[in-house]
């Protein structure tokens, strides 16, 4: 609940900044807070990609089936609580020929429009160069031409955004590799010594160009990928920080396990063996990059596609475990959403195509929602039902820490303390994500209840036993609001 409240405050401040810019005032360099890479990654929290949109390999950005991105779409995506938006951008369809490779001004403005919508809501934005593989060719034959063009492209992008604050992050490249190599030269499995060296050289060209533009770009956090953004041992071990730059974060992607996440060959996930495999992956990333190199990590793409096998619960278990393990290791997980098989948010209907999937990804931030719990606990009677017949509604048992499937496990009902202008809800619960709403009435009539709007919220937790903690949520209420005679507590998912 506290995280939601803080997000709301950030949103209002962001809108004020947006008004100043739209009023025609020039954008001055925004403050840079001097955070370390790991502090930035910790703040980035859990993110989501706006995939198959600006990264379409065509001037028509609806060519792959998604609608034009609107402010309402960005609002809808971020309303769930994501704190980072990765914006993949393909530049070459909107770029002139060499030797200057001039990016179309209107396209830069369009990219900036979407970037600003997200930044004005207080989240981080990752801006990159995406599907450019036909000219970003990391081998010795092509690396000089690749590096020269990257320098020119990134100089333009960086100059356009150089006064933006530190919540804008540049990512030099997306999955850089020699395309079409398959197993011949390890396109997705670490590459060769030559291609890994050339990826390092390409990254260095990007970073040097960005830093040379000055202003906030002198210290801006930059995400720099391994070969193909792979978590392969060779790819990570041979990764080099361009110019030994201190403000560089390592970018990796891992759709793991491959058969489950990217094919229709494996519908099941969740055994102890499955979990150990992911544990080993994250341990490998942590030991190689975080411990071995002293670098922070962002998992820029991950997820499992809807492969038509009806395995939603397996995908839920996978996303829950994956997101939590990322957070355990200090890695920001940015889930892939392409509007297709990986769709979480329906950009046409402006709602969640998979509400439970989105909730699962955000569990490390907000705790488990009742919608997710209902799926994993196989409750059939819904929030207001009474699965175990003990007289307590399922959502109440869940909210206050007991098992709705066990009639012998009774939850401890909350108490409401009223002192002066403050109301304090005292409950005992596990790590769940519900909303407490205090309502008042003068006569108990069904249509007389009204919510007391809080002007401040303070939460404290006292550790308990068996996963149940005493949670005290102190709500300060505007003194002009009368409490009436009766109070009640309403629980919503």
Mark residue 165 as left, alpha or beta (left: phi above 0; alpha: psi -120 to 50; beta: remaining): beta
| Residues 103, 86: Cα–Cα separation, whole Å | 21
Q: Which of 229, 118, 112 is nearest to 167 (CA)?
A: 118
Torsions phi, psi for 335 (to 5 deg): -70, 145
Q: Residue holding tokens 């200090």?
A: 330
Catalytic annotation present for 384: no
| Residues 225, 218: Cα–Cα separation, whole Å | 19
| Residues 194, 183: Cα–Cα separation, whole Å | 15
Token pair, residue 60, equals: 């028509």
Q: Contact 337/49 with Cβ under 8 angstroms?
A: yes
Q: Residue holding tokens 């906030």?
A: 216
Q: Which of 358, 335, 361 is nearest to 346 (CA)?
A: 358
| Residues 68, 52: Cα–Cα separation, whole Å | 11
Q: Contact 221/169 with Cβ under 8 angstroms?
A: yes
Q: Contact 252/334 with Cβ under 8 angstroms?
A: no
| Residues 170, 220: Cα–Cα separation, whole Å | 8
Q: Contact 154/209 with Cβ under 8 angstroms?
A: yes
- Partners of 449 in the β-ladder: none
Give the number of other CB atoms < 10 A from CB of residue 139: 18
| Residues 203, 248: Cα–Cα separation, whole Å | 11
Q: How many helices (H) and strands (E) does the chain have?
A: 15, 19
- What are the start-end ranges of the H helices in 131-247? 143-161, 193-212, 233-237
| Residues 87, 53: Cα–Cα separation, whole Å | 9
- CA distances 396 to 385, 393, 457, 471, Å, are 10, 5, 21, 15
Catalytic annotation present for 112: no
Per DSSP bridges, beta strands 351-352 and 432-433 are: unpaired
Token pair, residue 86, equals: 């990765």
Q: Which of 47, 44, 43 is nearest to 337 (CA)?
A: 47
| Residues 283, 148: Cα–Cα separation, whole Å | 37
| Residues 308, 289: Cα–Cα separation, whole Å | 36
| Catalytic site residue from 132, 171, 187, 301 | 301
| Catalytic site residue from 171, 175, 375, 387 | 175
| Residues 396, 432: Cα–Cα separation, whole Å | 11
Catalytic (active-site) positions:
175, 301
């Amino acid at each position: 609940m506290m995280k939601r409240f803080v997000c709301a405050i950030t949103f209002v401040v962001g809108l004020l900044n947006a008004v100043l810019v739209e009023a025609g005032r020039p954008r001055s360099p925004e403050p840079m807070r001097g955070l370390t890479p790991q502090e930035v990654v910790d703040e980035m929290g859990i993110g989501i990609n706006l995939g198959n949109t600006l990264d379409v390999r065509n001037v028509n950005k609806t060519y792959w089936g998604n609608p034009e991105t609107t402010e309402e779409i960005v609002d809808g995506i971020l309303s769930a609580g994501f704190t980072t938006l990765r914006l993949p951008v393909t530049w070459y369809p909107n770029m002139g020929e060499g030797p200057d490779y001039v990016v179309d001004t209107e396209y830069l403005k369009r990219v900036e429009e979407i970037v600003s919508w997200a930044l004005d809501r207080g989240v981080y934005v990752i801006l990159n160069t995406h599907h450019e593989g036909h000219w970003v060719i990391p081998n010795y034959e092509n690396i000089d031409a690749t590096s020269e063009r990257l320098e020119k492209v990134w100089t333009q992008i960086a100059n356009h955004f150089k006064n933006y604050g530190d919540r804008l992050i540049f990512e030099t490249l997306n999955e850089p590799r020699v395309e079409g190599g398959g197993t011949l030269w390890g396109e997705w499995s670490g590459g060769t010594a030559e291609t890994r060296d050339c990826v390092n050289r390409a990254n260095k060209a990007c970073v040097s160009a960005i830093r040379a533009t000055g202003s906030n770009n002198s210290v801006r956090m930059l995400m720099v990928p391994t070969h193909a953004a792979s978590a392969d041992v060779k790819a990570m071990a041979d990764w080099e920080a361009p110019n030994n730059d201190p403000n560089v974060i390592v970018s990796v992607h891992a759709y793991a396990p491959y058969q489950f996440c990217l094919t229709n060959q494996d519908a099941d996930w969740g055994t102890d063996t499955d979990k150990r495999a992911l544990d080993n992956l994250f341990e490998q990333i942590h030991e190689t990059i975080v411990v071995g190199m002293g670098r922070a990590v962002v998992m820029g793409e991950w997820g499992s596609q809807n492969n038509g096998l009806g395995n939603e619960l397996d995908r839920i278990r996978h996303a829950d475990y994956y997101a939590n393990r990322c957070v355990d290791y200090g890695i920001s997980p940015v889930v892939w959403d392409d509007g297709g098989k990986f769709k979480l948010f329906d950009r046409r209907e402006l709602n969640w195509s998979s509400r439970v999937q989105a909730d699962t990804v955000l569990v490390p931030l907000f705790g488990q929602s009742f919608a997710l719990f209902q799926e994993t606990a196989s409750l059939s009677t819904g929030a207001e039902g009474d699965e175990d017949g003990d007289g307590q509604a399922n959502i109440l048992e869940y909210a206050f820490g007991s098992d709705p499937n066990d009639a012998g496990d009774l939850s401890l009902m909350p108490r409401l303390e009223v002192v002066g202008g403050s109301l304090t809800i005292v409950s005992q619960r596990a790590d769940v994500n519900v909303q407490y709403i205090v309502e008042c009435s003068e006569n108990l009539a069904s249509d007389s209840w009204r919510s007391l709007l809080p002007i401040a919220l303070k939460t404290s937790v006292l550790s308990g036993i068996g996963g149940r903690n005493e949670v005290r949520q102190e709500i300060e209420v505007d003194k002009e609001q009368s409490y009436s005679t009766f109070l009640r507590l309403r629980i919503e998912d």
